[in-house]
Amino acid sequence: MARMTLDRLEAIYNQPLFDLLQQARAVHEEHWPRREVQLCTLLSIKTGGCSEDCSYCAQSAHHATPVQPEPLLDKEAVMRVARAARDQGSTRFCMGAAWKGVREGDKKFEQVLEIVREVNSLGLEVCVTLGQLTPVAAQRLRAAGVTAYNHNIDTSPEFYANIVTTHTFEDRLQTIRAVQDAGMAVCCGGIIGMGEALVDRLRMLEVVTGFDPAPESLPINSLVPIPGTPLENLPRVDLFEVVRLIATARVALPRTKIRLSAGRENLSREAQAMCFFAGANSIFFGDKLLTTGNTAAEEDLALLRELDLEPQAPFTDIQEPHACTREAHA
């Protein structure tokens, strides 16, 4: 699908809510198994002490947050979590590191490659988010078995400098291009509730709809205000704004998995049901995100049961990574 213009996105978003929901639901049912939700486990493999000043982030060294920096986890520690994730029903394992970026040859990067190879053997989709990548680093991650690389644009190009000054929006796009050129799927979304306007949220979607291929997944995070960050006192995003954005994303990106991400802990069961109806088909599963809490796993499973939804079944054949190819999205 071609890039959607801002005008078009506004027209979709601003429909009467039930019209928007009906449109999104129809698109969803055309492209996805109607009851399936992917469970993804998230693990911070290297926490805190990050050189970047992202104003929402608990892990930035620029803000005095409750997070204590920790070194890169060793492979066995990661594998224990990954095996438990698989046994609990997750089909995707996402590892995050609080780095500005990585390049080939770095000792830490080699350690991450080793971890990826091993996690890959478990039959899970493997996603990593390590900051900026060089083209060669991207190729090496792909060769090690990474399915998808998460690199969010987070907001509109216009608003970006209000939340980060240590790198640019264009830097983010450059890494995303390196990921695509290496043949990995792109996981790219953003955060709402950072003081941006509706137009920034839709401009973010506009940029993402212009990716070729379309992103394989789009995380929608609601800001989790972190004490000590410049955004610590911002109010919670209104549920209907979250739902409208999910529905608009579903219409604009029919084949992209939409992941209801940070901030889910603050959503009631009814609110989450609306998000699933609007097109969200993936969640982070497990009691912790990177540094903040998440809904308890048993609560999530109980909610899915009550809504007659099902966790995505384990893959029986993961030989081919689920990366989108340019052809598949032509």
Q: Which of 170, 138, 140, 141 is nearest to 153 (CA)?
A: 170
Q: Is 38 in the site for ligand DTB (CB under 6 A)?
A: no
Binding residue for ligand SAM, selected from 131, 213, 279, 321, defined by CB under 6 A: 131
| Token pair belonging to 303 | 């909610």
Q: Which does 60 bind (CB under 5 to 8 A by kind): ligand DTB, ligand SAM, ligand SF4, none?
A: ligand SF4
Q: Footprint of ligand SF4 on residues 84-123 (CB under 6 A)?
A: 98
Binding residue for ligand DTB, selected from 146, 207, 245, 290, defined by CB under 6 A: 290
User: Which is it for strands 190-192 and 148-150: parallel, antiparallel or unpaired?
Assistant: unpaired
Distances (CA, A) of 251 to 50, 91, 258: 35, 25, 11
Does the annotation count 324 as an active-site position?
A: no
Q: Which does 175 bind (CB under 5 to 8 A by kind): ligand SAM, ligand DTB, ligand SF4, none?
A: none
Helices and strands (DSSP H and E) totals, the chain? 11, 12
How many whole angstroms separate alpha carbon 233 and alpha carbon 227?
A: 8
Q: Kindly tell me which of 12 and 98 has the beta carbon lying closer to ligand SAM.
A: 98
Q: Which does 154 bind (CB under 5 to 8 A by kind): ligand SF4, ligand DTB, ligand SAM, none?
A: ligand SAM
Q: Is 46 in the site for ligand SAM (CB under 6 A)?
A: no
How many whole angstroms separate alpha carbon 86 and alpha carbon 40?
A: 9
Q: Which of 265, 314, 256, 313 is nearest to 289 (CA)?
A: 265
Q: Footprint of ligand SAM on residues 199-218 (CB under 6 A)?
A: none
What letter represents residue 248's amino acid?
A: T
Task: For the CB of residue 282, give the shortest distance to ligand DTB in the complex, in Å.
Answer: 11
Q: Is 55 in the site for ligand DTB (CB under 6 A)?
A: no
Q: Are 210 and 3 in contact (CB under 8 A)?
A: yes
Q: Which does 274 bind (CB under 5 to 8 A by kind): ligand SAM, ligand DTB, ligand SF4, none?
A: none
CB under 6 A: which stretch of 51-59, 76-84, 172-180, 320-328 binds ligand SF4? 51-59
| Token pair belonging to 58 | 């608990």
- Respond yes or no on whether the N-terminal peptide bond of residue 71 is cis (omega within 30° of 0): no
Distances (CA, A) of 279 to 12, 19, 256, 300, 330: 14, 14, 10, 17, 22
Q: Which does 260 bind (CB under 5 to 8 A by kind): ligand SF4, ligand SAM, ligand DTB, none?
A: none
Q: Footprint of ligand SAM on residues 83-122 (CB under 6 A)?
A: 96, 98-99
Catalytic amino acids?
A: 50, 54, 57, 94, 127, 187, 259
